[in-house]
Structure formats: C-alpha cells, structure tokens
Homo-oligomer: A and B are copies of this chain.
Amino acid sequence: MIGIGIVGYGYWGPNLLRNFADVDGCRVVGVSDLSSKRLAAARSRHPGIETFTDCFELIRDPRVDAIAIATPVSSHFELAMAALRAGKHVLVEKPMTATSEEAQCLVDEAARRRLVLAVDHTFVYTSAVRKMRELVDSGELGDIYYYDSVRVNLGLFRRDVNVMWDLAVHDFSIIDYVLPVLPCAVSATGVRHVPGEPENIAYVTLYFDTSLIAHVHANWLAPVKVRRTLLGGSRKMIVYDDVEPSEKIKVYDKGITVDGTTDGSTAYQLLVGYRAGDMWSPHLQTTEALATELRDFIACIEHRTAPVSDGRAGLRVVRLLEAASFSMAERGRVVELDALGCPV
C-alpha cells in the first residue's frame, strides 16, 4: 500500500484527493495546506483524513511514500526537491517549475535517487489526446502540416503566472506528446489588460524544421469557452473539440491533391485540387484522465518505470515556456531553440 501525501488543497488538490481515493494500491495519508479553512473543507468532505499546516511534516512522515504537489508554481521546486531528498516519489502540478534550471535539478535528483518524478500533464492521459497520437504514429494523417489550438474562456486571472503558463502549457504538453519532432524556434506575443497583472492574452507560434507549424491562442478574457484544436495532415485532418460532451475527436478524410484533379467549378483552382471524403469519430473511453494518470503514477512506483509524463517531459515543456517568455518580452522576436529545446 503506497502512502500518498498531498501538498496544497486549493483548486487542484481536491481533485487529487478524490481521485487517489479511487486508485487501488495506494492510500492518502494526509493533506497539507497553509489555510486551515481549506483543511477543514477537506476533513468535512473526507471524514478521517489527516491534515497538516506544515507541509514538511507531511513530506517527512514515514507513512508517506509519494508526494503530490498542487501549490503555486513558484513553490514547486522547493517542495519537490524536499520530497525527493526525503526519498519520496513526486507528482508535481504543471508547469513543473518556474525555470528550466529548477526542472533540470529535479530531473537529476530523481534520477540519482531512482525515484519516480512525474509532472501532471493531465491532457496526455485523456482518450482524445491518446487517440490523436495513435493516429499520428500510425501515419493515418500523413505528414503533419499544422497544429492549431484555441484555448480561451472567461478565466481566473492568476497572479503567479500569465495565461501562457496557465493555459498554453496544456498545448505544449500535448504537442510534446503527440508530435514526433521538437520545435526549433518559438515566437510569442502577449498583452495585459489589467495594469500590473500578468498577460491575459497570448499568441504563441512554434516553428519546426519541416513545414509543420504550431500555433496556440490562450485567453483569460473570452466570453465563451473554446477548447478546439485542429491537427492538419497531408492525408487526413483532425478536429479535437474538448468542450463537446461526446465526439471530441473527428477525423476528416479531406486534403489537397497537388496533381490538381479537382471538383472544378472555379477558375482559381489550378495545380492544387482538394478532396472531401467521409468524417469519422472514434468512440472514446470516458474514464477521467486524472484517474488514469494517478493509476499510471502508482504503477510506475511499483515497477520503477517512467511515467508517460515524466520529469523530462516536464523539463521540455518548461524550456518551451521559458523560451516563449523571452520572445514575449521582446514583442514576438523569434527565439531559436537547440536540439534540447534550449534557446540558442
């Protein structure tokens, strides 16, 4: 029975607690938070749960084998490092850390101690994103032309990070998981509409060595919630709409024919024709992604294997966020990345 300690009971902590409760092979030892009010909420909803105001006490607790961290980004590094040094496995909220240097340290420390270091890239555990990767890997889409994502809503204005670190990070983790190649450059633009607050709108473009391009629109100030991703390939194209209750993934047998055979009907069409075929929406399991992720985390601890979203994935995503932040600070200047994803 693997003992779990949850550090932070704010927005995400309750989801961790609820889901760990349903995972076999582990039990939640306790929850820590600075606010006694939140801890009281935890106790009322989960009678008998132990609560701690001092997270380090929980981290040190001998009954605890693994620590799940759901605190503001700025504290991720200190808490995760303390947990690793205490010999505990770690699952840390995304983004893994505030800097790539911190992320690198965590990866090294975990490797040195042979501990499981996982980052909570929830989306890569969804049936929809896994299906996208499957379709990319199988070659069914052909060459990947573009990834375009709109992730907007009237959201909470966070003070610790801007909208790119809060929302675009999801797309960075999806891109890291689904696409077979790493970006070679990044450009980001952001605006803040509340003086002194972080950017609440961000447009990020990722460049690759091929004609593949990725673009993300993240926005905390949109009147409607949109979670729509277009994944275009030379043979087929996907629309992934995460707001849809079902049919989240639609695969279109559509594309262009460069020989120019075409429906005709217009004068403009010359060399390039296009073809429109059937649409297909694969049935997806409706299991909650977080539950899948936590089961994977526990299994990795038991077998000392690397989780799908391990520390290295977390590091790559933080590097991308960091490089994009450099670009955003210079109004979208293109920042080149080396083979490791570090700014050149």
User: How distant is the Cα of A11 from the Cα of B254 in the complex, in angstroms?
Assistant: 23
Task: Report the bound CA distance from A64 to B266 in whole Å.
Answer: 27
The yes or no answer to A123 lying at the interface (CB within 8 A) is no
Supplied contacts A145-B191, A191-B213, A278-B281, 19 more A-B pairs, CB within 8 Å: A10-B266, A10-B267, A11-B267, A21-B44, A21-B45, A152-B230, A154-B254, A156-B268, A158-B268, A189-B213, A191-B211, A193-B211, A194-B271, A215-B217, A223-B279, A224-B246, A224-B252, A243-B245, A277-B283
* Smallest Cβ-Cβ distance to A143: which chain B residue: B193
Residue of B nearest to A228 (CB): B226
Q: A318 to chain B: closest CB distance in Å? A: 20
One digit per residue, 1 when the CB lies within 8 angstroms of any chain B CB and 0 when it does not, for chain A 227-247 equals 000101010011100010111
State in angstroms the CA–CA spacing of A192 and B189 once bound together. 22
Q: A10 touches which one: B22, B213, B268 (CB < 8 A)?
A: B268
Is A66 part of the binding interface, using a Cβ–Cβ cutoff of 8 Å? no
The answer to whether residues A247 and B154 also contact, given A10-B267, A11-B267, A223-B252 and a CB cut-off of 8 A, is: no
A47 within 8 A of B: yes
Residues A3-59 near B (CB distance < 8 A):
10-11, 21-22, 35, 38, 44-49
Q: Is the CB of B334 within 8 A of A334?
A: no
Q: Counting CB contacts under 8 A, is A172 at the interface?
A: no
A343 CB to nearest chain B CB (Å): 16
| One of B201, B271, B274 near A146 (C-beta < 8 A) | B201
How many copies the complex holds: the figure is: 4
Q: Are B45 and A48 in contact (CB under 8 A)?
A: no
A331 CB within 8 Å of chain B: yes
Across the interface, which residues of B come within 8 angstroms of A256, CB to CB?
157, 193-194, 221
In the complex, A281 Cα to B205 Cα: how many Å?
32
Interface check A159, CB cutoff 8 A? yes
Residues of A within 8 A of B (CB): 10-11, 21-22, 35, 38, 44-49, 145-146, 148, 150, 152, 154, 156-160, 187, 189, 191-194, 197, 201, 203, 205, 207, 211, 213, 215, 217, 219, 221-225, 230, 232, 234, 237-239, 243, 245-247, 250, 252-256, 258, 266-272, 274, 276-283, 331-332, 334
- The reply to whether A156 and B269 form a contact with Cβ atoms under 8 Å apart is yes
* Residue from the list B46, B154, B258 in contact with A276, Cβ < 8 A: B154
Most chain B beta carbons < 10 A, residue from A243, A256, A282: A256
Assembled-state Cα–Cα distance A146/B193 (Å): 10
| Residue numbers in B under 8 Å from A146 (CB-CB) | 191, 201, 219, 221
Nearest to A280 among chain B residues (CB) is B280
Which B-chain residue is minimally distant from A281 (CB atoms)?
A: B279
Knowing A145-B221, A232-B221, A280-B279, say if A157 contacts B269 (CB, 8 Å): yes
Pair B215/A223 contact, Cβ less than 8 Å: no
What separation, in Å, do the CA atoms of A48 and B224 have in the docked complex? 42
Residues of B with C-beta under 8 A to A211: 191-193
